[in-house]
Structure 1
Amino acid sequence: MKFIRWFLGKVILTLSFIFSPKGIKRSEELQKELDKKASSLALYQFEACPFCVKVRRAMQRQSITFDLRDAKNNPTHREALLTHGGALKVPCLRIDNGDETTWMYESSDIVAYLEKEFA
């Protein structure tokens, strides 16, 4: 079973790389503004999780980057996800609004949020 998961994970990552979406072209000023806004976000993820790949592809389509945190192999990120987010479930988007932090779990919700905030 472990081999099958490993193999399928490699297939998912390879296909995601081959068919990676093109990002939105923006003015340099607007892109800097959106990059600043995205700096308050962090995605807790597993590298080969198909739902995490879905969210990362949405990031590519919107031409945004933010911190990707490996909750599978990094014990610090794993513990933060469990402690603050409440569950070891990925993908999870951490949205830091200064005085309030929101943890968003469903990939479809995360993609909708990214499209709404960065389109």
Structure 2
Amino acid sequence: MPELVLYYSPSCPFCKKVTDFMLKHDIKIKMVDRDWSQENRQELIDKGGKPQVPCLLIDGKALYESDDIVKWFQDNLVAS
């Protein structure tokens, strides 16, 4: 399985879409609240190139947009 890290913000409706999907399908990965600290925000910028959330890092490569992240989960982590 690839190394997965989700950067999110609790107040972001697009992040909620992703986290609700994760909860429904029992997907458990490392999650980092971008808004928790300036260090988390800077880490997201350093790794992903911008502060946008949601951002799923897949082996260090950033995937943005909630629909794309949900699709990636469906294609790679959810049993058919």
TM-score (norm 1): 0.61
Q: Which has the higher contact order (CA 8 A, sep 6+)?
A: 2
- In structure 1, give the amino acid aligned to 2:37: N
1:75-107 Cα deviation digits (max 9, x unpaired): 2221111112111100000111xxxx2101110
Give distance in 1, aligned partners of 2:27 and 2:52. Answer: 23
* Structure 1 segments unaligned to the other structure (5+ residues): 1-36
- In structure 2, give the amino acid aligned to 1:60: L
2:21 counterpart SS class: helix
Counting aligned pairs with the same residue, the percent is: 36
Q: Whose strand fraction is larger, Structure 1's or Structure 2's?
A: 2
Q: RMSD over aligned Cα, in angstroms?
A: 1.3
Match of 1:104 among 50, 56, 63: 63
Contact 1:62 1:115 in 2 (8 A): no
Corresponding residue for residue 71 of structure 1: 34
Structure 1 residue 68, shift from structure 2 partner: 1.2
Corresponding residue for residue 54 of structure 1: 17
Q: Whose helix fraction is larger, Structure 1's or Structure 2's?
A: 1
Structure 1 residue 73, shift from structure 2 partner: 2.1
* Aligned residue pairs, count: 78
Corresponding residue for residue 116 of structure 1: 75
1:56 counterpart SS class: helix
Match of 1:93 among 56, 70, 78: 56
Match of 2:45 among 73, 78, 82: 82
TM-score (norm 2): 0.88
* Larger Rg computed on CA atoms: 1
